[in-house]
Amino acid sequence: MMKILDPSKFAQLPDAILFDTDNTLYAYDPAHAVAQKAVRDKVIKTFSISGDDFDSAFKEARAQVKLRLKETASSHSRLLYLQRMLEIMGLGSQVLLALDFEQTYWRTFLGNAVLFSDVKELLDDIRLLGIPTAIVTDLTAQIQFRKVVYFGLDQYFDYIVTSEEAGFDKPHEAPFQIALEKMNPKGNCIWMVGDNSINDISGARQSINAVTLQKVHAGVQVGSGPHMPDAIFEDFFQLRKLLDKLSQD
């Protein structure tokens, strides 16, 4: 199902397309749940603690890191969460264990992350149309680069901008502006494809006046009011059909 909420925004092919990564190109929650459980189980076994002890320490560690670092790439750092968790547990920084637990998380995460259908086919269509593309994503560059390579998408996108490079998470204007500077599109019709109604949809509209398309699936709330997208879609095949139609007009 694709629903175009503002047809006036879709009278022509875009001059460039920006994509969010997490929970847009693949479902984030299932991969995260399995990865978090793997870390939880490993910590419980290593220190012979209860699940409640882990949950409490990790929750507090994450909250402290986010409060201190606010809307920056490092505020999402699994390594910092785990380091602080170990400190809260009275074990000191334990850098070797923190690194080991982080690797357990990401190895499990990537092993359980699955691209949505038709993502690569859509990107092939876009390349054949000569439309430049960029990823605009939160989190640190290293892990986001790893995800792109793991999914085999490194040859599909022209550019990537992480919040580590930009200095700010979305919806701050910096990541969007940097993407446009890199892409240097020929016109002003820029599409933003993302799942988050505030960070992706509202952020891109306010920062670069983007045409916004929200990817919806289980757990995603369609934006409303100032966060309402110009179109919503469930399957990337629907985007392929839209681009094909616009290319024929």
Q: Are residues 138 and 197 in the same domain?
A: yes
| Prediction pTM value | 0.94
pLDDT by residue for the chain (249 residues), tens only, comes to 799 999 999 999 999 999 999 999 999 999 999 999 999 999 999 999 999 999 999 999 999 999 999 888 888 999 999 999 999 999 888 999 999 999 999 999 999 999 999 999 999 999 999 999 999 999 889 999 999 999 999 999 999 999 999 999 999 999 999 999 999 999 999 999 999 999 999 999 999 999 999 999 999 999 999 999 999 999 999 999 999 999 997
Q: Are residues 8 and 22 in the same domain?
A: yes
Collapse the DSSP code of 249 into the 3-class scheme (helix H, G, I; strand E, B; otherwise coil) and give the result: coil
Domain extent, residue 36, equals 30-112
List, by residue number, the catalytic residues: 20, 22
Closest CA to 138 of 175, 105, 183, 111: 175
Contact status, residue 84 vs residue 102, Cβ threshold 8 Å: no
Report how many domains make up the chain: 2
Contact status, residue 201 vs residue 230, Cβ threshold 8 Å: no
Q: Are residues 133 and 160 in the same domain?
A: yes
Q: Are residues 87 and 161 in the same domain?
A: no
Q: Are residues 136 and 180 in the same domain?
A: yes
Q: Are residues 221 and 240 in the same domain?
A: yes
CA pseudo-torsion sign 231, 157, 11, 239: negative
Pick the last residue of a domain from 68, 97, 112: 112
